[in-house]
Structure 1
Protein backbone atom coordinates (compact mmCIF):
# COMPACT_ATOMS: atom_id res chain seq x y z
CA UNK A 1 0.00 0.00 0.00
CA UNK A 2 1.36 3.38 -1.02
CA UNK A 3 1.84 5.91 1.82
CA UNK A 4 -1.04 8.35 2.37
CA UNK A 5 0.13 10.76 5.05
CA UNK A 6 -1.01 14.01 6.62
CA UNK A 7 1.74 16.17 8.08
CA UNK A 8 0.55 18.71 10.66
CA UNK A 9 2.57 21.93 10.42
CA UNK A 10 0.25 24.26 12.31
CA UNK A 11 -2.92 23.72 14.31
CA UNK A 12 -3.43 27.00 16.18
CA UNK A 13 -5.84 29.76 15.32
CA UNK A 14 -5.28 33.42 14.43
CA UNK A 15 -2.87 34.31 17.25
CA UNK A 16 0.37 32.30 17.17
CA UNK A 17 1.54 31.02 20.54
CA UNK A 18 4.67 29.32 21.83
CA UNK A 19 2.78 26.02 21.54
CA UNK A 20 1.13 26.33 18.15
CA UNK A 21 1.62 27.77 14.69
CA UNK A 22 -1.27 28.92 12.47
CA UNK A 23 -2.95 26.48 10.10
CA UNK A 24 -0.90 24.48 7.62
CA UNK A 25 -0.77 20.85 6.54
CA UNK A 26 0.83 18.75 3.85
CA UNK A 27 -0.93 15.74 2.34
CA UNK A 28 1.48 13.20 0.87
CA UNK A 29 0.35 10.54 -1.57
CA UNK A 30 2.35 8.44 -4.02
CA UNK A 31 5.36 10.71 -4.11
CA UNK A 32 3.44 13.97 -4.42
CA UNK A 33 2.83 16.60 -1.76
CA UNK A 34 -0.18 18.92 -1.52
CA UNK A 35 -0.17 21.84 0.91
CA UNK A 36 -3.39 22.90 2.62
CA UNK A 37 -3.30 26.46 3.95
CA UNK A 38 -0.04 28.23 4.65
CA UNK A 39 -0.02 30.20 7.87
CA UNK A 40 2.92 32.22 9.14
CA UNK A 41 5.95 30.04 9.93
CA UNK A 42 5.03 27.15 7.64
CA UNK A 43 8.47 27.03 6.00
CA UNK A 44 10.19 26.58 9.34
CA UNK A 45 7.73 23.87 10.32
CA UNK A 46 8.41 22.05 7.05
CA UNK A 47 12.12 22.01 7.79
CA UNK A 48 11.53 20.81 11.34
CA UNK A 49 9.35 18.01 9.98
CA UNK A 50 11.95 17.21 7.29
CA UNK A 51 9.46 17.76 4.49
CA UNK A 52 11.18 18.69 1.24
CA UNK A 53 10.03 21.70 -0.76
CA UNK A 54 10.52 20.18 -4.20
CA UNK A 55 7.61 17.73 -4.23
CA UNK A 56 4.85 20.26 -3.50
CA UNK A 57 2.75 20.25 -6.67
CA UNK A 58 -0.23 22.31 -5.48
CA UNK A 59 -1.28 24.59 -2.64
CA UNK A 60 -4.91 24.82 -1.48
CA UNK A 61 -5.98 27.95 0.44
CA UNK A 62 -9.30 27.61 2.25
CA UNK A 63 -9.94 31.35 2.74
CA UNK A 64 -8.08 34.63 2.97
CA UNK A 65 -7.81 35.15 6.69
CA UNK A 66 -4.18 35.78 7.52
CA UNK A 67 -3.65 32.77 9.74
CA UNK A 68 -4.32 30.60 6.69
CA UNK A 69 -2.23 32.43 4.08
CA UNK A 70 0.32 34.85 5.62
CA UNK A 71 3.08 32.30 5.01
CA UNK A 72 2.37 31.82 1.32
CA UNK A 73 4.39 34.64 -0.23
CA UNK A 74 7.49 33.61 1.72
CA UNK A 75 6.98 30.02 0.60
CA UNK A 76 6.71 31.07 -3.04
CA UNK A 77 9.85 33.18 -2.71
CA UNK A 78 11.76 30.25 -1.25
CA UNK A 79 10.66 28.02 -4.11
CA UNK A 80 12.26 30.56 -6.45
CA UNK A 81 15.47 30.79 -4.39
CA UNK A 82 15.73 27.00 -4.44
CA UNK A 83 15.69 27.01 -8.25
CA UNK A 84 12.23 25.57 -8.80
CA UNK A 85 11.25 25.16 -12.45
CA UNK A 86 8.18 22.92 -12.12
CA UNK A 87 4.85 24.81 -12.34
CA UNK A 88 2.94 25.33 -9.10
CA UNK A 89 -0.86 25.29 -8.93
CA UNK A 90 -2.64 27.42 -6.33
CA UNK A 91 -6.32 26.77 -5.59
CA UNK A 92 -8.11 29.47 -3.60
CA UNK A 93 -11.28 31.57 -3.53
CA UNK A 94 -11.41 34.04 -6.41
CA UNK A 95 -11.10 36.92 -3.93
CA UNK A 96 -7.49 35.89 -3.31
CA UNK A 97 -6.33 36.51 -6.89
CA UNK A 98 -5.77 40.31 -6.67
CA UNK A 99 -4.03 39.92 -3.31
CA UNK A 100 -1.72 37.25 -4.73
CA UNK A 101 -1.01 39.28 -7.87
CA UNK A 102 -0.03 42.31 -5.78
CA UNK A 103 2.34 40.28 -3.60
CA UNK A 104 3.92 38.54 -6.58
CA UNK A 105 4.44 41.84 -8.40
CA UNK A 106 6.03 43.39 -5.31
CA UNK A 107 8.20 40.56 -4.03
CA UNK A 108 8.47 37.77 -6.59
CA UNK A 109 8.76 39.08 -10.12
CA UNK A 110 11.67 36.99 -11.46
CA UNK A 111 10.69 33.38 -10.84
CA UNK A 112 11.86 30.59 -13.11
CA UNK A 113 8.63 28.69 -12.49
CA UNK A 114 5.03 29.35 -13.42
CA UNK A 115 2.30 29.95 -10.86
CA UNK A 116 -1.07 28.72 -12.09
CA UNK A 117 -3.97 30.23 -10.15
CA UNK A 118 -7.28 28.34 -10.05
CA UNK A 119 -10.29 30.16 -8.61
CA UNK A 120 -12.45 27.90 -6.42
CA UNK A 121 -16.20 28.36 -6.21
CA UNK A 122 -16.69 28.04 -2.44
CA UNK A 123 -20.44 27.51 -2.86
CA UNK A 124 -20.13 24.19 -4.71
CA UNK A 125 -18.77 20.75 -3.97
CA UNK A 126 -16.90 19.79 -7.12
CA UNK A 127 -13.65 18.22 -8.29
CA UNK A 128 -11.03 20.96 -8.59
CA UNK A 129 -7.91 18.81 -9.05
CA UNK A 130 -7.32 15.38 -10.55
CA UNK A 131 -4.35 13.23 -11.46
CA UNK A 132 -3.73 9.49 -11.88
CA UNK A 133 -3.71 8.92 -8.11
CA UNK A 134 -6.43 11.09 -6.61
CA UNK A 135 -9.09 13.73 -6.91
CA UNK A 136 -9.55 16.81 -4.73
CA UNK A 137 -13.02 18.24 -4.19
CA UNK A 138 -14.02 21.56 -2.69
CA UNK A 139 -16.32 21.44 0.37
CA UNK A 140 -18.57 24.50 0.94
CA UNK A 141 -18.23 25.88 4.48
CA UNK A 142 -19.71 28.87 6.30
CA UNK A 143 -17.38 31.42 7.83
CA UNK A 144 -17.15 35.21 7.89
CA UNK A 145 -16.01 35.33 4.25
CA UNK A 146 -15.95 32.81 1.37
CA UNK A 147 -14.44 29.58 2.68
CA UNK A 148 -14.17 25.98 1.61
CA UNK A 149 -12.62 22.75 2.76
CA UNK A 150 -10.94 20.11 0.65
CA UNK A 151 -11.64 16.41 0.20
CA UNK A 152 -8.79 14.20 -1.02
CA UNK A 153 -9.97 10.89 -2.49
CA UNK A 154 -7.51 8.20 -3.52
CA UNK A 155 -8.48 6.51 -6.78
CA UNK A 156 -9.17 2.77 -6.56
CA UNK A 157 -6.18 0.59 -7.36
CA UNK A 158 -6.05 -2.72 -9.23
CA UNK A 159 -6.15 -6.12 -7.49
CA UNK A 160 -2.95 -7.72 -6.24
CA UNK A 161 -1.43 -10.54 -8.26
CA UNK A 162 -0.95 -13.86 -6.47
CA UNK A 163 2.61 -14.66 -7.41
CA UNK A 164 2.27 -18.27 -6.23
CA UNK A 165 -0.60 -18.83 -8.68
CA UNK A 166 1.22 -17.09 -11.53
CA UNK A 167 4.17 -19.44 -11.00
CA UNK A 168 1.99 -22.53 -10.51
CA UNK A 169 0.14 -22.04 -13.81
CA UNK A 170 3.25 -20.79 -15.65
CA UNK A 171 1.51 -17.63 -16.73
CA UNK A 172 3.73 -15.33 -18.83
CA UNK A 173 4.68 -11.97 -17.35
CA UNK A 174 3.13 -10.33 -20.41
CA UNK A 175 -0.33 -11.39 -19.16
CA UNK A 176 -0.11 -9.92 -15.66
CA UNK A 177 -1.62 -6.54 -16.59
CA UNK A 178 -4.53 -8.28 -18.29
CA UNK A 179 -5.15 -10.35 -15.17
CA UNK A 180 -4.96 -7.25 -12.96
CA UNK A 181 -7.66 -5.74 -15.16
CA UNK A 182 -9.97 -8.73 -14.66
CA UNK A 183 -8.95 -11.34 -17.22
CA UNK A 184 -8.94 -15.05 -16.41
CA UNK A 185 -6.35 -17.52 -17.72
CA UNK A 186 -6.71 -20.67 -19.82
CA UNK A 187 -4.01 -23.27 -19.15
CA UNK A 188 -2.42 -25.67 -21.60
CA UNK A 189 -5.18 -28.24 -21.04
CA UNK A 190 -7.92 -25.74 -21.87
CA UNK A 191 -9.09 -25.21 -18.29
CA UNK A 192 -10.12 -21.67 -17.39
CA UNK A 193 -8.56 -20.37 -14.19
CA UNK A 194 -10.88 -17.66 -12.79
CA UNK A 195 -9.45 -14.24 -12.05
CA UNK A 196 -10.45 -14.59 -8.39
CA UNK A 197 -7.96 -17.44 -8.04
CA UNK A 198 -5.14 -15.40 -9.51
CA UNK A 199 -5.62 -12.18 -7.55
CA UNK A 200 -6.46 -10.81 -4.13
CA UNK A 201 -8.68 -7.74 -3.67
CA UNK A 202 -7.23 -4.28 -4.09
CA UNK A 203 -6.50 -2.16 -1.04
CA UNK A 204 -9.50 -0.03 -0.02
CA UNK A 205 -9.32 3.52 -1.39
CA UNK A 206 -8.58 6.07 1.34
CA UNK A 207 -9.87 9.61 1.77
CA UNK A 208 -9.16 12.71 3.83
CA UNK A 209 -11.44 15.69 4.41
CA UNK A 210 -10.07 19.01 5.66
CA UNK A 211 -12.76 21.30 7.07
CA UNK A 212 -11.24 24.68 7.75
CA UNK A 213 -12.86 27.55 9.66
CA UNK A 214 -16.62 27.13 9.76
CA UNK A 215 -19.59 27.41 12.02
CA UNK A 216 -21.36 24.15 12.79
CA UNK A 217 -23.20 22.91 9.70
CA UNK A 218 -25.77 20.19 10.47
CA UNK A 219 -25.64 18.90 6.87
CA UNK A 220 -21.85 18.87 6.53
CA UNK A 221 -21.72 15.17 7.42
CA UNK A 222 -23.41 14.37 4.12
CA UNK A 223 -20.49 15.92 2.20
CA UNK A 224 -17.81 13.98 4.07
CA UNK A 225 -19.70 10.73 4.67
CA UNK A 226 -17.48 7.71 5.23
CA UNK A 227 -14.08 9.36 4.79
CA UNK A 228 -11.12 7.58 6.32
CA UNK A 229 -10.07 10.66 8.28
CA UNK A 230 -11.69 14.03 8.95
CA UNK A 231 -9.98 17.21 10.14
CA UNK A 232 -12.53 19.66 11.51
CA UNK A 233 -11.75 22.94 13.21
CA UNK A 234 -12.48 22.88 16.94
CA UNK A 235 -11.65 26.37 18.11
CA UNK A 236 -13.72 26.43 21.31
CA UNK A 237 -15.16 24.34 24.12
CA UNK A 238 -18.92 24.21 24.61
CA UNK A 239 -18.77 26.74 27.47
CA UNK A 240 -17.62 29.29 24.87
CA UNK A 241 -20.23 28.44 22.23
CA UNK A 242 -21.37 32.07 22.20
CA UNK A 243 -17.92 33.06 20.91
CA UNK A 244 -18.01 30.24 18.39
CA UNK A 245 -21.31 31.50 17.04
CA UNK A 246 -20.13 35.12 17.04
CA UNK A 247 -17.01 34.38 15.00
CA UNK A 248 -18.46 31.55 12.86
CA UNK A 249 -16.31 28.85 14.41
CA UNK A 250 -17.09 25.41 15.85
CA UNK A 251 -16.69 23.74 19.20
CA UNK A 252 -14.91 20.42 19.66
CA UNK A 253 -18.23 18.76 20.45
CA UNK A 254 -19.75 20.10 17.22
CA UNK A 255 -16.78 18.79 15.22
CA UNK A 256 -17.36 15.41 16.84
CA UNK A 257 -21.04 15.51 15.89
CA UNK A 258 -20.05 15.92 12.24
CA UNK A 259 -17.61 13.01 12.53
CA UNK A 260 -20.17 10.79 14.23
CA UNK A 261 -22.95 11.57 11.78
CA UNK A 262 -20.59 11.08 8.81
CA UNK A 263 -19.37 7.73 10.19
CA UNK A 264 -15.74 8.65 9.50
CA UNK A 265 -12.78 6.53 10.50
CA UNK A 266 -11.28 9.12 12.84
CA UNK A 267 -11.44 12.80 13.69
CA UNK A 268 -8.52 15.22 13.96
CA UNK A 269 -9.08 18.35 16.04
CA UNK A 270 -7.30 21.64 15.43
CA UNK A 271 -7.43 25.44 15.09
CA UNK A 272 -7.34 25.81 18.87
CA UNK A 273 -8.12 29.18 20.41
CA UNK A 274 -5.08 30.76 22.07
CA UNK A 275 -7.15 31.31 25.23
CA UNK A 276 -6.73 27.64 26.25
CA UNK A 277 -3.53 26.53 27.92
CA UNK A 278 -4.57 22.88 27.74
CA UNK A 279 -6.36 21.37 24.76
CA UNK A 280 -7.27 18.23 26.70
CA UNK A 281 -10.63 19.83 27.54
CA UNK A 282 -11.34 20.03 23.81
CA UNK A 283 -10.39 16.38 23.39
CA UNK A 284 -12.55 15.28 26.31
CA UNK A 285 -15.63 16.99 24.88
CA UNK A 286 -15.04 15.51 21.43
CA UNK A 287 -14.45 11.97 22.65
CA UNK A 288 -17.69 12.03 24.63
CA UNK A 289 -19.46 12.37 21.27
CA UNK A 290 -17.04 10.53 18.97
CA UNK A 291 -14.45 8.32 20.72
CA UNK A 292 -12.11 8.16 17.70
CA UNK A 293 -11.11 11.81 18.15
CA UNK A 294 -7.55 13.01 18.62
CA UNK A 295 -5.69 16.27 19.02
CA UNK A 296 -3.29 17.42 16.34
CA UNK A 297 0.10 18.91 17.13
CA UNK A 298 2.93 20.40 15.11
CA UNK A 299 5.28 17.73 13.82
CA UNK A 300 2.63 15.00 13.92
CA UNK A 301 2.25 12.67 10.94
CA UNK A 302 -0.97 10.69 10.44
CA UNK A 303 -0.59 7.63 8.23
CA UNK A 304 -3.88 6.50 6.67
CA UNK A 305 -4.15 2.72 6.38
Structure 2
Protein backbone atom coordinates (compact mmCIF):
# COMPACT_ATOMS: atom_id res chain seq x y z
CA UNK A 1 0.00 0.00 0.00
CA UNK A 2 1.26 3.49 -0.86
CA UNK A 3 2.58 5.40 2.12
CA UNK A 4 2.41 9.13 2.77
CA UNK A 5 3.43 9.85 6.34
CA UNK A 6 4.75 12.77 8.39
CA UNK A 7 7.36 12.03 11.07
CA UNK A 8 7.89 14.74 13.69
CA UNK A 9 11.52 14.83 14.85
CA UNK A 10 11.36 18.23 16.52
CA UNK A 11 8.61 20.78 17.20
CA UNK A 12 10.13 23.33 19.58
CA UNK A 13 11.27 26.86 18.81
CA UNK A 14 14.59 28.68 19.23
CA UNK A 15 16.51 26.29 21.49
CA UNK A 16 16.32 22.62 22.54
CA UNK A 17 14.58 22.00 25.86
CA UNK A 18 13.99 18.97 28.04
CA UNK A 19 10.61 18.58 26.32
CA UNK A 20 11.19 19.51 22.69
CA UNK A 21 13.84 19.51 19.98
CA UNK A 22 14.07 22.30 17.35
CA UNK A 23 12.20 22.05 14.08
CA UNK A 24 12.61 18.95 11.94
CA UNK A 25 10.22 16.69 10.06
CA UNK A 26 10.59 13.81 7.66
CA UNK A 27 8.02 13.09 4.98
CA UNK A 28 7.87 9.42 4.01
CA UNK A 29 6.39 9.11 0.53
CA UNK A 30 6.36 5.51 -0.67
CA UNK A 31 9.58 4.83 1.29
CA UNK A 32 11.41 7.85 -0.12
CA UNK A 33 12.36 10.19 2.72
CA UNK A 34 12.29 13.99 2.50
CA UNK A 35 13.52 16.07 5.45
CA UNK A 36 12.05 19.50 6.17
CA UNK A 37 14.29 21.68 8.33
CA UNK A 38 17.09 20.20 10.41
CA UNK A 39 17.44 21.62 13.91
CA UNK A 40 19.95 20.43 16.49
CA UNK A 41 19.68 16.76 17.37
CA UNK A 42 17.93 15.84 14.12
CA UNK A 43 20.23 12.91 13.37
CA UNK A 44 19.60 11.35 16.80
CA UNK A 45 15.84 11.73 16.43
CA UNK A 46 16.10 10.32 12.92
CA UNK A 47 17.60 7.10 14.28
CA UNK A 48 15.20 6.89 17.24
CA UNK A 49 12.30 6.90 14.80
CA UNK A 50 13.76 4.00 12.83
CA UNK A 51 14.36 5.98 9.63
CA UNK A 52 17.03 4.98 7.14
CA UNK A 53 19.77 7.35 6.00
CA UNK A 54 20.01 5.53 2.67
CA UNK A 55 16.48 6.65 1.75
CA UNK A 56 17.07 10.36 2.44
CA UNK A 57 18.07 12.24 -0.70
CA UNK A 58 16.36 15.62 -0.38
CA UNK A 59 16.48 18.14 2.48
CA UNK A 60 14.36 21.30 2.44
CA UNK A 61 15.43 24.25 4.65
CA UNK A 62 12.73 26.87 5.22
CA UNK A 63 15.01 29.70 6.36
CA UNK A 64 18.41 30.53 7.79
CA UNK A 65 17.73 30.66 11.53
CA UNK A 66 19.84 28.25 13.55
CA UNK A 67 16.99 26.30 15.09
CA UNK A 68 16.06 25.16 11.57
CA UNK A 69 19.48 24.13 10.26
CA UNK A 70 22.11 23.70 13.00
CA UNK A 71 21.61 19.94 12.80
CA UNK A 72 22.46 19.79 9.10
CA UNK A 73 26.29 19.55 9.22
CA UNK A 74 26.14 16.76 11.79
CA UNK A 75 23.47 14.88 9.85
CA UNK A 76 25.46 14.99 6.62
CA UNK A 77 28.65 13.95 8.39
CA UNK A 78 26.89 10.96 9.94
CA UNK A 79 25.45 10.00 6.57
CA UNK A 80 28.99 10.07 5.16
CA UNK A 81 30.18 7.75 7.92
CA UNK A 82 27.35 5.39 7.02
CA UNK A 83 28.68 5.46 3.45
CA UNK A 84 25.47 6.68 1.93
CA UNK A 85 26.02 6.83 -1.83
CA UNK A 86 24.52 8.76 -4.72
CA UNK A 87 23.57 12.35 -4.00
CA UNK A 88 21.78 14.50 -1.46
CA UNK A 89 20.08 17.67 -2.66
CA UNK A 90 19.72 20.55 -0.19
CA UNK A 91 17.04 23.08 -1.11
CA UNK A 92 18.12 26.26 0.65
CA UNK A 93 18.56 30.02 0.30
CA UNK A 94 21.73 31.26 -1.42
CA UNK A 95 23.63 32.35 1.72
CA UNK A 96 22.87 29.01 3.33
CA UNK A 97 24.21 27.14 0.32
CA UNK A 98 27.43 29.15 0.46
CA UNK A 99 27.94 28.56 4.18
CA UNK A 100 27.11 24.86 3.99
CA UNK A 101 29.46 24.36 1.07
CA UNK A 102 32.34 25.95 2.99
CA UNK A 103 31.56 23.85 6.06
CA UNK A 104 31.26 20.57 4.20
CA UNK A 105 34.35 21.24 2.05
CA UNK A 106 36.35 21.65 5.25
CA UNK A 107 34.91 18.93 7.51
CA UNK A 108 33.57 16.41 5.02
CA UNK A 109 35.63 16.72 1.86
CA UNK A 110 35.80 12.92 1.42
CA UNK A 111 32.05 12.37 1.52
CA UNK A 112 30.97 9.28 -0.48
CA UNK A 113 27.92 11.11 -1.80
CA UNK A 114 27.58 14.29 -3.83
CA UNK A 115 25.91 17.29 -2.20
CA UNK A 116 23.81 19.31 -4.64
CA UNK A 117 22.56 22.77 -3.68
CA UNK A 118 19.25 23.92 -5.15
CA UNK A 119 19.07 27.64 -4.41
CA UNK A 120 15.68 29.00 -3.36
CA UNK A 121 15.12 32.66 -4.15
CA UNK A 122 13.22 34.90 -1.77
CA UNK A 123 9.49 34.96 -2.46
CA UNK A 124 9.54 32.43 -5.29
CA UNK A 125 6.85 29.91 -6.09
CA UNK A 126 8.44 26.97 -7.87
CA UNK A 127 8.35 23.20 -8.13
CA UNK A 128 11.69 22.19 -6.59
CA UNK A 129 11.20 18.42 -6.77
CA UNK A 130 9.21 16.09 -8.99
CA UNK A 131 9.05 12.35 -9.60
CA UNK A 132 6.43 9.97 -10.94
CA UNK A 133 4.16 10.33 -7.93
CA UNK A 134 5.00 13.57 -6.10
CA UNK A 135 5.79 17.25 -6.51
CA UNK A 136 7.23 19.64 -3.93
CA UNK A 137 6.72 23.36 -4.42
CA UNK A 138 7.75 26.49 -2.57
CA UNK A 139 5.68 29.50 -1.52
CA UNK A 140 6.67 32.59 0.52
CA UNK A 141 6.19 32.97 4.25
CA UNK A 142 6.42 36.21 6.26
CA UNK A 143 9.09 36.11 8.95
CA UNK A 144 11.96 38.36 10.06
CA UNK A 145 14.20 36.83 7.42
CA UNK A 146 13.43 35.32 4.01
CA UNK A 147 11.41 32.17 4.64
CA UNK A 148 9.68 29.62 2.45
CA UNK A 149 6.99 27.04 2.94
CA UNK A 150 6.73 23.72 1.11
CA UNK A 151 3.74 21.90 -0.37
CA UNK A 152 3.97 18.15 -1.03
CA UNK A 153 1.38 17.12 -3.62
CA UNK A 154 0.67 13.54 -4.57
CA UNK A 155 0.03 13.25 -8.30
CA UNK A 156 -3.34 11.85 -9.48
CA UNK A 157 -3.59 8.12 -8.87
CA UNK A 158 -4.58 5.45 -11.37
CA UNK A 159 -8.12 4.12 -11.56
CA UNK A 160 -8.87 0.71 -10.07
CA UNK A 161 -9.39 -2.20 -12.45
CA UNK A 162 -12.61 -4.17 -12.07
CA UNK A 163 -11.26 -7.71 -12.30
CA UNK A 164 -14.57 -9.27 -13.25
CA UNK A 165 -15.10 -6.87 -16.16
CA UNK A 166 -11.49 -7.10 -17.33
CA UNK A 167 -11.90 -10.88 -17.47
CA UNK A 168 -15.35 -10.72 -19.09
CA UNK A 169 -14.14 -8.45 -21.91
CA UNK A 170 -10.85 -10.33 -22.21
CA UNK A 171 -8.67 -7.22 -21.93
CA UNK A 172 -5.06 -8.03 -22.94
CA UNK A 173 -2.42 -7.60 -20.21
CA UNK A 174 -0.59 -5.14 -22.45
CA UNK A 175 -3.65 -2.81 -22.33
CA UNK A 176 -4.19 -2.80 -18.57
CA UNK A 177 -1.90 0.16 -17.81
CA UNK A 178 -3.66 2.31 -20.40
CA UNK A 179 -7.04 1.31 -19.01
CA UNK A 180 -5.93 2.24 -15.49
CA UNK A 181 -4.86 5.60 -16.89
CA UNK A 182 -8.39 6.15 -18.21
CA UNK A 183 -8.36 4.80 -21.76
CA UNK A 184 -11.32 2.99 -23.30
CA UNK A 185 -10.70 -0.47 -24.77
CA UNK A 186 -11.30 -0.79 -28.50
CA UNK A 187 -11.81 -4.27 -29.95
CA UNK A 188 -10.45 -5.24 -33.34
CA UNK A 189 -13.94 -4.89 -34.81
CA UNK A 190 -14.12 -1.28 -33.58
CA UNK A 191 -16.39 -1.95 -30.60
CA UNK A 192 -15.58 0.47 -27.76
CA UNK A 193 -15.73 -0.74 -24.16
CA UNK A 194 -16.00 2.44 -22.06
CA UNK A 195 -13.44 2.86 -19.33
CA UNK A 196 -16.20 3.38 -16.76
CA UNK A 197 -17.24 -0.27 -17.24
CA UNK A 198 -13.70 -1.54 -16.68
CA UNK A 199 -12.58 0.56 -13.74
CA UNK A 200 -13.73 2.29 -10.59
CA UNK A 201 -12.60 5.80 -9.55
CA UNK A 202 -9.06 6.34 -8.31
CA UNK A 203 -8.37 7.06 -4.66
CA UNK A 204 -8.10 10.80 -4.00
CA UNK A 205 -4.61 12.27 -4.05
CA UNK A 206 -3.23 13.78 -0.84
CA UNK A 207 -1.37 17.02 -0.16
CA UNK A 208 0.59 18.47 2.76
CA UNK A 209 1.69 22.05 3.43
CA UNK A 210 4.54 22.94 5.78
CA UNK A 211 4.24 26.51 7.07
CA UNK A 212 7.38 27.25 9.03
CA UNK A 213 8.05 30.52 10.90
CA UNK A 214 5.58 33.17 9.75
CA UNK A 215 3.26 35.80 11.05
CA UNK A 216 -0.39 35.32 10.17
CA UNK A 217 -1.00 36.47 6.61
CA UNK A 218 -3.96 35.73 4.31
CA UNK A 219 -1.50 35.25 1.43
CA UNK A 220 -0.38 32.03 3.12
CA UNK A 221 -3.95 30.72 3.15
CA UNK A 222 -4.27 31.59 -0.54
CA UNK A 223 -1.04 29.79 -1.44
CA UNK A 224 -2.03 26.59 0.36
CA UNK A 225 -5.71 26.67 -0.61
CA UNK A 226 -7.18 23.19 -0.96
CA UNK A 227 -4.34 21.36 0.77
CA UNK A 228 -5.54 18.41 2.87
CA UNK A 229 -3.23 18.64 5.89
CA UNK A 230 -1.45 21.79 7.07
CA UNK A 231 1.42 22.10 9.51
CA UNK A 232 1.54 25.67 10.81
CA UNK A 233 3.75 27.16 13.45
CA UNK A 234 1.91 28.12 16.64
CA UNK A 235 4.60 29.63 18.84
CA UNK A 236 2.35 31.52 21.27
CA UNK A 237 -1.11 31.68 22.84
CA UNK A 238 -3.60 34.53 22.43
CA UNK A 239 -2.10 36.63 25.22
CA UNK A 240 1.18 36.82 23.27
CA UNK A 241 -0.33 37.98 19.96
CA UNK A 242 1.56 41.29 19.93
CA UNK A 243 4.85 39.58 20.61
CA UNK A 244 4.10 37.01 17.93
CA UNK A 245 3.72 39.71 15.28
CA UNK A 246 6.82 41.60 16.48
CA UNK A 247 8.88 38.44 16.09
CA UNK A 248 7.31 37.24 12.87
CA UNK A 249 5.41 34.36 14.44
CA UNK A 250 1.82 33.18 14.87
CA UNK A 251 -0.45 32.18 17.71
CA UNK A 252 -2.25 28.86 17.76
CA UNK A 253 -5.55 30.58 17.01
CA UNK A 254 -4.03 32.35 14.02
CA UNK A 255 -2.66 29.06 12.72
CA UNK A 256 -6.17 27.62 12.93
CA UNK A 257 -7.61 30.62 11.09
CA UNK A 258 -5.15 30.07 8.23
CA UNK A 259 -6.08 26.39 8.01
CA UNK A 260 -9.77 27.32 8.00
CA UNK A 261 -9.31 29.94 5.27
CA UNK A 262 -7.33 27.42 3.20
CA UNK A 263 -10.11 24.84 3.41
CA UNK A 264 -7.82 22.20 4.96
CA UNK A 265 -9.17 19.02 6.51
CA UNK A 266 -6.57 18.74 9.27
CA UNK A 267 -4.12 21.01 11.11
CA UNK A 268 -0.90 20.11 12.91
CA UNK A 269 0.54 22.86 15.13
CA UNK A 270 4.12 23.09 16.36
CA UNK A 271 7.17 25.35 16.91
CA UNK A 272 6.14 25.82 20.52
CA UNK A 273 7.77 28.46 22.71
CA UNK A 274 9.82 27.11 25.61
CA UNK A 275 7.61 29.10 28.00
CA UNK A 276 4.95 26.35 27.92
CA UNK A 277 5.17 23.31 30.18
CA UNK A 278 2.08 22.00 28.39
CA UNK A 279 0.62 22.86 25.00
CA UNK A 280 -2.98 22.16 26.01
CA UNK A 281 -3.77 25.90 26.03
CA UNK A 282 -2.55 26.17 22.43
CA UNK A 283 -4.58 23.12 21.43
CA UNK A 284 -7.70 24.56 23.05
CA UNK A 285 -7.36 27.97 21.40
CA UNK A 286 -6.74 26.44 17.97
CA UNK A 287 -9.63 24.03 18.50
CA UNK A 288 -12.04 26.92 19.06
CA UNK A 289 -11.50 27.86 15.40
CA UNK A 290 -10.66 24.63 13.58
CA UNK A 291 -12.28 21.22 14.23
CA UNK A 292 -9.35 18.82 13.68
CA UNK A 293 -6.12 19.94 15.38
CA UNK A 294 -3.13 17.75 16.26
CA UNK A 295 -0.35 18.80 18.62
CA UNK A 296 3.05 18.02 17.16
CA UNK A 297 5.35 16.03 19.43
CA UNK A 298 8.67 14.26 18.99
CA UNK A 299 8.11 10.74 17.73
CA UNK A 300 4.65 11.44 16.36
CA UNK A 301 3.78 9.84 13.01
CA UNK A 302 0.79 11.16 11.08
CA UNK A 303 -0.57 9.10 8.18
CA UNK A 304 -1.94 11.29 5.42
CA UNK A 305 -3.71 8.48 3.58
Match of 1:181 in 2: 181
- 1:49 is aligned to 49
CA distance 1:188–1:92, shift in 2 (3 Å): closer
Q: Would you say the 8 A contact 2:39–2:72 is kept in 1?
A: yes
**Equivalent position of 1:77 in the other structure:** 77
1:188 Cα deviation (Å)? 8.2
Q: Who is 1:255 aligned against?
A: 255
Map 1:155-174 to 2 at 5 A: 155-174=155-174
| Contact map agreement 1:11 1:298 (CA 8 A) in 2 | yes
State the distance in 2 between where 1:193 and 1:21 align: 57
Aligned-residue Cα RMSD (Å) equals 1.4
Q: Deviations over 1:102-136 (max 9, x none)?
A: 21122111111110001101312221111111111
| Kept in 2: contact 1:122–1:139 (CA 8 A) | no
Counterpart secondary structure, 1:289 = coil
Aligned residues: 305
Instruction: Quote how far apart the aligned CAs of 1:190 are.
Output: 6.6
SS of residue in 2 equivalent to 1:64: coil
Residue 62 of structure 2 corresponds to 62
TM-score (norm 1): 0.97
CA shift, 1:141, in A, is 0.7
Residue 268 of structure 1 corresponds to 268
List aligned pairs for 1:237-248, cutoff 5 A. Answer: 237-248=237-248
Report if the CA contact (8 A) 1:185-1:195 is conserved: yes
Mapping of residues 103-252 of structure 1, within 5 Å: 103-186=103-186, 191-252=191-252
Does residue 93 (structure 1) correspond to residue 93 (structure 2)? The answer is: yes
Q: In the aligned structure 1, how far is the partner of 2:264 from the partner of 2:236?
A: 21
Q: Deviations over 1:2-61 (max 9, x none)?
A: 110000000000121111110000011122110000000111111111111110110000
For the 8 Å contact 2:53–2:84, the answer to whether it is kept is no
Give SS of 2:209's match.
Answer: strand
Task: Work out whether residues 139 and 211 of structure 1, in 8 Å CA contact, stay in contact via their aligned partners in 2.
Answer: no
Structure-2 residue corresponding to 1:5: 5
Contact map agreement 1:268 1:294 (CA 8 A) in 2: yes
Runs of 4+ in 1 over 3 A off after TM superposition: 186-192
Secondary structure at the residue paired with 1:276? coil
**1:277 and 2:295 matched:** no
1:249-280 deviations in whole A, cap 9, x for unaligned?
Answer: 10000000000000101000000000011100
| Change beyond 3 A, Cα 1:138–1:186 | closer
